[in-house]
Amino acid sequence: MKKVTIYPAEQFTFKTDAIAPDKSISHRSVMFSMLAEGESKVTNFLRAEDTMNSLNIIKELGASIDDDGKTFRIRSEGIKESANILDCGNSGTGMRLFSGLLASAEGHFILTGDEYLRRRPMKRVTKPLRDIGAKLDGREDGDLAPLSIRGGSIKAFDYESKIASAQVKSAMILAALSADGVCTYTEPELSRDHTERMLKGMGAEISVDGLKTTIKPMKGLLSPLDIRVPSDPSSAFFFAVAAAIVPGSTAVLEGVTLNPTRIEAFKALERMGADIVYETTDDRYEPIGSITVKHAPLHAITIEDNISWLIDELPALSIAMACAEGTSTVKNAAELRVKESDRISTVVNNLRYCSIESEEFEDGYTVTGGELMTARVESHGDHRIAMSFIIAGLRCGMQVEDIDCINTSFPNFFELLSEVTKVEL
């Protein structure tokens, strides 16, 4: 398992259009191509472990893929049963969305993942999918992978979800496309909406009214996708925090999706005092553009609303909190406990190793700004924990252990980071 040493950064100006492509959109682009008639084109796909696992799975399901190094041309003639186990690696998105996609496919399928994914809760998708007729099972009554799926008929449903989860919503929308009538899905807060936008773009009859999504079953196959995957705001955010915490610095992050359900962490950083400007340059499936972040003194913040819009960025935001004046509080964020690691305890414990005061509670934590001190911290196999504490190292130097996980989402992270500071791998 590799480790890295990061050295403190001097004031920097960093401009890039090479932030890794969006992970959520990349997963969806290959999965949804399985629902299209004709050739889908996907450019700038994220070639990272999580999303390459999804690509390999659609190959197992019968898709043919032509890759010229820039664009995948994907053709499928419906989902075919595979003789192999389908490996989602570290990806909860992969496993949960494939569960919905395969719930109505003809055949028997097994989904598995790495040791971390096999510990994460799957009942949030297996339960509602079973309720509408899908035949899914797994350890602990369907809560833990490996999952087995025997595709079958899906009953029309009106489902009210208790959690704001795009993964659950997407799994149910995918199942609804093959249901025997019109379905509705309501969530308590709007979660990221790439699934609705992309499927609508492919001609699916999906309408959204506030928190309620109505899905009409597909009459035949959908139109092919033609998409250039924008850069991932969750990956871009590490460099936003970098600029915000190193005095005198600026980061210009180009070609990023500006989907409102994805840029809430930048808004939070702005509320903490950072100087941030957004510029929309394109609109295809969703708004795309640049985000410029300039350092300014930061102050504490309370985060309690729209948690699902910034859930993935909270570890990195916690590094900004550690550099801010006052005590910041994160509430209503129990979902952090079931991410790639228990992110409440991994953030709090690692901050303490860096001499920052931080208190953990059931659904959140506090961070009191102070002087970050160099330390040796563990990623716990979690890419976002690894990258967040590497960014903390820009202030004080840091050693981060077990960094291979960064390849799940941001393979060129160190290449970009070395434009900002000295990195010893």
Known catalytic residues are: 312
Contact yes or no for 94/88 (Cβ under 8 A): yes
Count CA within 13 A, CB hemisphere, residue 195.
31
Measured over all CA atoms, what is the biggest interatomic distance in the chain, rounded to whole angstroms? Answer: 61
191 binds ligand S3P (CB under 6 A): yes
User: What residues from 317 to 356 belong to the interface with ligand S3P (CB under 6 A)?
Assistant: 335
Contact yes or no for 368/358 (Cβ under 8 A): yes
**Could you tell me which of 43, 177, 41, 160 has the C-alpha nearest to residue 97?**
177
Q: What is the amino acid identity at position 233?
A: P
User: What residues from 91 to 120 belong to the interface with ligand S3P (CB under 6 A)?
Assistant: 93
Give the alpha-carbon dihedral of 208, 211, 216, 218, to 10 degrees.
80
If you search the block for the tokens 């913040």, which residue do you land on? 301
- Residue 204's alpha-carbon distances to 121, 141, 195, 225, 265, in angstroms, are 29, 33, 11, 12, 30
Kindly indicate which of the ranges 151-159, 260-268, 306-314, 394-402 contains the residues binding ligand S3P, using the contact rule CB under 6 A.
Answer: 306-314
265 binds ligand S3P (CB under 6 A): no
- Give me the least distance between CB of 164 and ligand S3P, in Å please: 7
Residue from 53, 257, 308, 318 touching ligand S3P (CB under 6 A): that is 308
Contacts of 399 (CB under 8 A, 6+ apart): 3, 4, 5, 6, 374, 375, 376, 377
Binding mask 192-211 for ligand S3P (x = CB under 6 A): x-------------------
The CA distance from 327 to 325, in Å, is 7
The CA distance from 205 to 216, in Å, is 5
- Give me the least distance between CB of 30 and ligand S3P, in Å please: 13
314 binds ligand S3P (CB under 6 A): no
- Give me the least distance between CB of 187 and ligand S3P, in Å please: 10
- Give me the least distance between CB of 338 and ligand S3P, in Å please: 8
Please say which residue, 76 or 93, places its beta carbon nearer to ligand S3P. Answer: 93
22 binds ligand S3P (CB under 6 A): no
**Could you tell me which of 77, 93, 82 has the C-alpha nearest to residue 56?**
82
- Give me the least distance between CB of 193 and ligand S3P, in Å please: 10
Please say which residue, 124 or 295, places its beta carbon nearer to ligand S3P. Answer: 124
Please say which residue, 306 or 350, places its beta carbon nearer to ligand S3P. Answer: 306
The CA distance from 19 to 254, in Å, is 8
- Residue 318's alpha-carbon distances to 17, 238, 263, 349, 376, in angstroms, are 25, 11, 16, 12, 17
Contacts of 276 (CB under 8 A, 6+ apart): 240, 266, 269, 270, 291, 292, 293, 294
The CA distance from 358 to 330, in Å, is 11
Kindly indicate which of the ranges 81-89, 153-161, 286-294, 304-312 contains the residues binding ligand S3P, using the contact rule CB under 6 A.
Answer: 304-312
Binding mask 222-261 for ligand S3P (x = CB under 6 A): ----------------------------------------
Cβ–Cβ contacts within 10 Å for residue 185, how many? 26
311 binds ligand S3P (CB under 6 A): yes
- Give me the least distance between CB of 257 and ligand S3P, in Å please: 12
Kindly indicate which of the ranges 101-109, 166-174, 236-244, 288-296 contains the residues binding ligand S3P, using the contact rule CB under 6 A.
Answer: 166-174
User: What residues from 351 to 410 belong to the interface with ligand S3P (CB under 6 A)?
Assistant: none
Please say which residue, 198 or 252, places its beta carbon nearer to ligand S3P. Answer: 198
- Give me the least distance between CB of 106 and ligand S3P, in Å please: 26
Residue from 167, 178, 235, 408 touching ligand S3P (CB under 6 A): that is 167
312 binds ligand S3P (CB under 6 A): yes
Number of residues that bind ligand S3P (CB under 6 A): 12
Residue from 6, 61, 117, 166 touching ligand S3P (CB under 6 A): that is 166
Q: Which residues bind ligand S3P (CB under 6 A)?
A: 24, 93, 165-167, 170, 191-192, 308, 311-312, 335
